[in-house]
Structure 1
Amino acid sequence: MTPRVLIPIAPGSEEMEAITIVNILRRAQIDCTLAGTVEGPIRCSRGSVIVPDTTLEAVMDMPFDLIALPGGQPGTTHLDEDPRMHTLLQRMHAEGKFITAICAAPTILAHAGLLTGKKATCYPTLLDTLHGAETVAIHGVVCDGNIITSTGPGTAMDFALTLVETLVGKAQRMQVEEALARP
C-alpha cells in the first residue's frame, strides 16, 4: 500500500521546505497531499504563491502515515495557532504515525506536547523553545522514534530524503537521490 503524507501550509510557510518535501516524496511515488489552512492560493514567506491540492478542513478525518510541517514565518505561527493542527498531531501521534517538522515548525510539536523526552532539532535560534525535548544542535536531521525534525531550508532535501527512507526504505531513497545528481 502506498504511504500517504500530509503537508499542511499556511500563509507565510517556507516555500523551499514545502515544495522540496512534496517534490522529493512524489519522486518516490509517495502519495502527498498539500493542504492549505485557508482556501485558495497561499502566499509563502518569500512571496511565492502555492496552490495547495486541497484545504486542511477537507482532509482532517482522512488517514495519513506521516505529517510533515514546513517552517517559515509567520507560517509556523499560523499553523501553531490553528487548533486543528494540535488535534491532528495528537491524534496521529496516538496512532503511532510519523510526526515530522523542519525549521521553526518543531516548536509546534513542542507546544502540542509531543517532544517530551525526545531528541529534536530546529532552526538554531529556536532550540531553547523546544520545551521538554533533548535538543540536538546540528545542521541536519534528527530521528527519535516516530518524531523526525530538521534544521531549516538548507537541510530540506536531506529531510525529505529521510522521509522517503522512513516510509519506503533505503533502496527507494538511494534511487531518488541518484536521480537528483547530488554531489
Structure 2
Amino acid sequence: MTKRIMILATNGFEQSELMKPKANVEDAGYETTVVSLEKGEITGWDDKNWGESVAVEKTVDEIESCAGYDALLLPGGQINPDILRMNAKAVDIVKMFAKTNKPIAAICHAPWLLAEAELIEGKTVTAWPSIRTDLKNAGANVVDQEVAVDGNLITSRKPDDIPAFSKALIDMLATSADKPQLETA
C-alpha cells in the first residue's frame, strides 16, 4: 500500500517549500494530499510576489484523524504558518500526528506550528533565523543546520535545505514501515 503524506498549508506558503518537497516525495513513490482552511486553491509566495496556486484536496474541517496518512509536511513562508497557527483545527491536526508518533516535517517558519502545538519542549529543532527565539522560548534546543531530526520531528531552515529536508522525510518514512503506529481517535 502506498504511503500518504498530508501537506497542511494555506495562502502565502513559500512556493519552493511546498512544491519541491511535494515533487520529491511523489518521485519517491508517495502520495500527497493538500489540506487547507478553505476549498478551492491556495497561492504560494515566490520571492517578492504571489506565485503559483495549488488545488486544495481537503479542508481542515474534513480531517477527523490522521488515519490513512503516514506523515505530515508543513511548508514555511512567513504568511502561511502564521495564519495556520491561529486556527485551532490546524493545530489539532499537528497534535494528532504527534500523538500517533508519525513523522512531522516542518521547514522555515513552519516550526511555529510545532511550538503552537506544544511539541518542541526539550526537542532539537532548526528554523528560519527570525523565529529561533520563539522556538527557544517554547523550550526547544535550536540549532543552525540544514536539517534537524529529533524523534518524529524533522525541521529545516530555508529553501536551500530542501534536498536534505526531503531526504530526511523519505528516509524516516522508509524506516517507519518497521515501526508500529499508534492510532488514536
1:84 has 2:89 as partner: yes
Large movers: runs of 4+ above 4 Å: none
User: Map of 1:55-134 to 2, 5 A cutoff?
Assistant: 55-63=59-67, 64-130=69-135, 131-134=138-141
Higher helix share: 1
Instruction: Tell me what 1:38 maps to.
Output: 38
Q: 1:147 corresponds to which residue?
A: 153
Partner of 2:166: 160
Aligned residue for 2:13, secondary structure, equals coil
Unaligned stretches of 5+ residues in structure 1: 170-183
More strand by share: 2
Question: Is the alpha carbon distance of 1:163 and 1:56 closer, same or farther for their aligned partners in structure 2, counting shifts above 3 Å?
Answer: same
- Tell me how far apart the structure 1 counterparts of residues 119 and 6 of structure 2 sit (CA, whole Å): 18
Q: Distance in 2 between matches of 1:52 and 1:15?
A: 15
What is the rounded CA distance, in whole Å, between the counterparts of 1:71 and 1:56 in structure 2? 18
Q: Residue 57 of structure 2 aligns to which amino acid in structure 1?
A: D
Which residue identity does 1:121 align to in structure 2? T
Change beyond 3 A, Cα 1:26–1:115? same
For residues 91 and 58 of structure 2, what CA distance do their matches in structure 1 show? 19
TM-score with structure 1 setting the length? 0.86
Alpha-carbon deviation of 1:116?
0.7
The count of residues paired between Structure 1 and Structure 2 equals 168
Sequence identity (%) = 29
Aligned-CA RMSD value: 1.5
Name the SS for the 1:7 alignment partner.
Answer: strand
Q: Which runs of 5+ in 2 are unaligned?
A: 176-185
